[in-house]
Amino acid sequence: MAPRASSWEPGASISRFPTPPSTPSRSFSSRTDVRLPGGPRLVTASEMAAVDHAAISRGVSAATLMERAGKESARAIVTWWRGMTAQKPGPMRRRPATAARPTRGRAIVLAGRGNNGGDGFVCARHLKAAGFTVRVLVAAEEDALASEAAQNHAACEKERIPVTFLPDERAWGPGSEAAFAAHEAVFLVDALLGTGSKGAPRGAVGAAIEMAEHTERPIASIDIPSGLDASSGYVELPAIRAEFTVTLQLLKRGLKLEPGRSHAGQVEVVDIGIPQAVIDETIPSMLTVNPDWARGVLPTRPMDAHKGSVGRVLVVGGSAGLVGAVGMASEAALRVGAGYVVAAVPVSCIDPLEARVAEVVKRGLPETSQRSLALSARDEILAEALRADVIALGPGLSRNPETLELARELVERVEAPLVLDADGLNAFEGLGVHRMHGPVVLTPHYAEAARLSGQSIAEIARDPARWARRFADESHAIVCLKSTPMITAVLAEPMILNGTGNPGMATAGAGDVLTGTIAGLIAQGVDAQEAAVLGCFLHGLAGDVAARRLGMWGLIAGDIVRALPAAITALESGALGEI
Q: Is 445 annotated in some ligand binding site?
A: yes
Contacts of 364 (CB under 8 A, 6+ apart): 345, 346, 347, 348, 349, 350
Quick one: pLDDT band at residue 15, thresholds 50, 70, 90? very low
Please say which residue of 282, 305, 331 terminates a domain. 282
Please say which residue of 235, 255, 282 terminates a domain. 282
Is 58 among the domain residues? Answer: yes
Instruction: Tell me the angle at which helices 528-550 and 510-523 cross, rounded to the nearest 10 degrees.
Output: 130
Is 153 among the domain residues? Answer: yes
Say what the pLDDT of residue 98 is: 47
Q: Is 196 annotated in some ligand binding site?
A: yes
Number of domains in the chain: 2
Cα dihedral 563, 565, 571, 573 in deg (nearest 10): -120
- Lowest-confidence region among 42-51, 103-112, 185-194, 532-541: 103-112
Is 425 among the domain residues? Answer: yes
Q: Is 118 annotated in some ligand binding site?
A: yes
Residue 9 has pLDDT above 80, yes or no: no
- Lowest-confidence region among 6-15, 211-220, 437-446, 483-492: 6-15
Q: Are residues 268 and 346 in the same domain?
A: no
Kindly provide the residue ranges of all beta strands, DSSP E only, lying in 353-511, ordered along the sequence: 361-365, 390-393, 418-420, 440-442, 478-481, 487-489, 495-497
CA 218 to chain centre: 26
Mean pLDDT rounded to a whole number for the chain: 91
Q: Is 319 annotated in some ligand binding site?
A: no
Q: Is 226 annotated in some ligand binding site?
A: yes
Q: Is 351 annotated in some ligand binding site?
A: no
Q: Is 539 annotated in some ligand binding site?
A: no
CA 206/CA 172 separation, integer angstroms: 9
Q: Are residues 547 and 564 in the same domain?
A: yes
Q: Is 510 annotated in some ligand binding site?
A: no
3-state SS assignment for residue 365: strand
CA 566/CA 579 separation, integer angstroms: 9
Say what the pLDDT of residue 87 is: 44
Is 173 among the domain residues? Answer: yes
pLDDT tens digits, 474-528: 999 999 999 999 999 999 899 999 999 999 999 999 999 999 999 999 999 999 9
Q: Are residues 231 and 320 in the same domain?
A: no
Is 432 among the domain residues? Answer: yes
Q: What CATH number does residue 327 fall under?
A: 3.40.1190.20
Q: Which amino acid is at 149?
A: A
Residue 514 near residue 485 (C-beta atoms within 8 A):
no
Instruction: Tell me the angle at which helices 62-81 and 45-57 cross, rounded to the nearest 10 degrees.
Output: 130
Q: Are residues 147 and 163 in the same domain?
A: yes
**Cα distance from N-terminal residue to C-terminal residue, the chain:** 33
CA 381/CA 61 separation, integer angstroms: 65
Say what the pLDDT of residue 289 is: 94
Q: Are residues 526 and 409 in the same domain?
A: yes
Contacts of 24 (CB under 8 A, 6+ apart): none
Say what the pLDDT of residue 37 is: 85
- Looking at residue 268, what DSSP letter applies? E
Q: Is 325 annotated in some ligand binding site?
A: yes
Contacts of 474 (CB under 8 A, 6+ apart): 432
Q: Is 27 annotated in some ligand binding site?
A: no
Q: Is 330 annotated in some ligand binding site?
A: no
Q: Which amino acid is at 167?
A: P
Please tell me whether the peptide bond between 259 and the residue prior to it is cis, using omega within 30 degrees of 0. Answer: yes
Is 482 among the domain residues? Answer: yes
Q: Are residues 55 and 199 in the same domain?
A: yes
Kindly provide the residue ranges of all beta strands, DSSP E only, lying in 150-192, ordered along the sequence: 163-165, 187-191
- Lowest-confidence region among 27-31, 208-212, 437-441, 471-475: 27-31
Quick one: pLDDT band at residue 213, thresholds 50, 70, 90? very high
CA 536/CA 487 separation, integer angstroms: 9
Q: Is 6 annotated in some ligand binding site?
A: no
Q: Are residues 67 and 178 in the same domain?
A: yes
Q: Which domain holds residue 252?
A: 42-282
Please say which residue of 282, 313, 329 terminates a domain. 282
Say what the pLDDT of residue 327 is: 98
CA angle 495, 501, 502 (to 5 degrees): 130
Say what the pLDDT of residue 125 is: 98
Quick one: pLDDT band at residue 91, thresholds 50, 70, 90? low
Return the bridge partners of 319, or none.
Answer: 372
Contacts of 16 (CB under 8 A, 6+ apart): 412
Q: Is 199 annotated in some ligand binding site?
A: yes
Q: Is 512 annotated in some ligand binding site?
A: yes
Residue 488 near residue 536 (C-beta atoms within 8 A):
yes
Q: Is 559 annotated in some ligand binding site?
A: no
Is 460 among the domain residues? Answer: no
Residue 30 has pLDDT above 90, yes or no: no
Q: Is 511 annotated in some ligand binding site?
A: yes
Q: Are residues 165 and 94 in the same domain?
A: yes
Q: Are residues 206 and 353 in the same domain?
A: no
Residue 60 near residue 273 (C-beta atoms within 8 A):
yes
Phi, psi of 202 (to 5 degrees): -130, 175
Q: Are residues 494 and 560 in the same domain?
A: yes
Q: Are residues 209 and 267 in the same domain?
A: yes
pLDDT tens digits, 372-412: 999 999 999 999 999 999 999 999 999 999 999 999 999 99
Of the candidates 478, 471, 422, the residue with the CA atom closest to the CA atom of residue 447: 422
How far is CA 535 from each of CA 17, 419, 432, 527, 565, rounded to the nearest angstrom? 31, 11, 24, 11, 13
Q: Are residues 78 and 109 in the same domain?
A: yes
Q: What CATH number does residue 61 fall under?
A: 3.40.50.10260
The CA R_g of the chain, rounded to the nearest whole Å, is: 27
pLDDT tens digits, 215-236: 999 999 999 999 999 999 999 9
Q: Is 115 annotated in some ligand binding site?
A: yes
Is 462 among the domain residues? Answer: no
